[in-house]
Amino acid sequence: MTVFDYCNPVNLMFGPGQFSRLGECVRPGEGRALLVTGRSAARRLGYLDHAVAMLRDQGVDAVVYDQVPQNPTDEVVDAGGTIARDEGCDLVVGLGGGSAMDAAKGIAVAATHAFPVREFLVADEGGNKRMPTDKTLPIICVTTTAGTASELTPFAVITTKSAKQKSAISSPLIYARVGICDPQLTYNVPPEVTATTGVDVLCHAIEGYISTAAGPLTDLAAEEAIRLVGAYLPTAVADGGNQEARYHMSLGNLLAGMPLSNCGANLMHGLEHPVSAHYPDVAHGAGLAALLIAYAETCWEAAPKKFARVSALLGGPEDGSQAAAVLEELLDKVSLNIKLSATRGFSKRLPMTRLATWAARLRRPLAVRTAAVSWTSSGRATRARASRPAPGSPRRP
Ligand SMILES: [Fe+2]
Cα 86 to ligand 1 centroid, rounded to whole Å:
32
Highest mean pLDDT among 156-165, 333-342, 375-384: 156-165
Q: How confident is the model at residue 366 (pLDDT cuts 50, 70, 90)?
A: very low
Residue 243, pLDDT above cutoff 80: yes
**Residue 345 pLDDT:** 47
Which of 305-340 are b and which e, b meaning 16 or more Cβ less than 10 Å from the residue's Cβ?
Answer: ebbbbbbbbbebeeebebbbebbeebbebbebbbeb
Q: Report domain extents, the chain.
A: 11-185, 207-383
CA–CA separation, 145 and 251 (whole Å): 11
Indicate the SS3 state at residue 317: coil
Question: Per residue in 260-319, pLDDT tens?
Answer: 999 888 888 988 888 888 888 888 998 899 889 988 988 899 899 999 999 999 999 999
pLDDT-derived band of residue 1, with 50, 70 and 90 as boundaries? confident
Q: Is the pLDDT of residue 354 over 70?
A: no
Residue 184's closest CA among 360, 386, 13? 13
Question: Please, what is the average pLDDT of the chain?
Answer: 87
Percent of the chain's residues with pLDDT above 90 = 69
- Rounded distance from Cα 279 to ligand 1 centre (Å): 16
For residue 81, pLDDT over 70 is answered with yes
Higher-confidence position of 87 and 385: 87
> Is residue 367's pLDDT more than 60?
no
CA of 328 to the centre of ligand 1 (A): 19
207-383, CATH topology level: Dehydroquinate synthase-like, alpha domain (1.20.1090)
**How close is the Cα of 369 to the center of ligand 1, in Å?**
16
Given this model, what pLDDT does residue 358 score? 52
First vs last C-alpha separation in the chain? 27
The two domains 11-185 and 207-383 share their CATH topology (first three levels equal): no
Q: Provide mean pLDDT across the span 81-98.
A: 98
Q: How far is the CA of 257 from the centre of ligand 1 (A)?
A: 9
Ligand 1 centroid – CA 233 distance (Å): 16
Instruction: Please state, for a pLDDT cut of 70, what percent of the chain lies above it.
Output: 85
Say how many Å lie between the CA of residue 208 and the centre of ligand 1: 11
113-143 pLDDT tens trace? 999 999 999 888 888 899 999 999 999 999 9
User: Distance (Å, rounded) from C-alpha 239 to C-alpha 91?
Assistant: 36
Residue 343 pLDDT greater than 70, yes or no: no
Rounded average pLDDT over 341-369: 46
CATH number of this structure's domain 11-185, picked from the four choices 3.40.50.1970, 3.30.43.10, 3.20.20.80, 1.10.3720.10: 3.40.50.1970
Instruction: Give the Å distance between the CA of 397 and the centre of ligand 1.
Output: 7
Of 106-110, 157-161, 234-238, 364-368, which range is least confident?
364-368
The confidence band for 353, taking pLDDT boundaries of 50, 70 and 90, is: low
CA of 319 to the centre of ligand 1 (A): 26
Whole-number Å distance, alpha carbon 317 to ligand 1 midpoint, is 27
Between 54-58, 302-306, 384-388, the lowest mean confidence (pLDDT) is in 384-388
Whether the predicted pLDDT of 97 surpasses 90: yes
Beta bridge partners of 38: 68
Query: What's the mean pLDDT in 18-41?
Result: 97
Query: Between vectors from CA 223 to CA 218 and to CA 158, what angle results, nearest 5°?
Result: 60
Task: Summarize the confidence of residues 154-160 as an average pLDDT.
Answer: 95
Neighbours of ion ligand 1 (CB under 5 A): 200
Q: How confident is the model at residue 222 (pLDDT cuts 50, 70, 90)?
A: very high
Beta strands 61-68 and 32-38 are parallel
| Interval between CA 56 and ligand 1 midpoint (Å) | 33
* Sequential DSSP letters for 182-223: -GGGGTT--HHHHHHHHHHHHHHHHHHHTSTT--HHHHHHHH
Whole-model pTM: value is 0.87
Which DSSP symbol is given to 395?
A: P
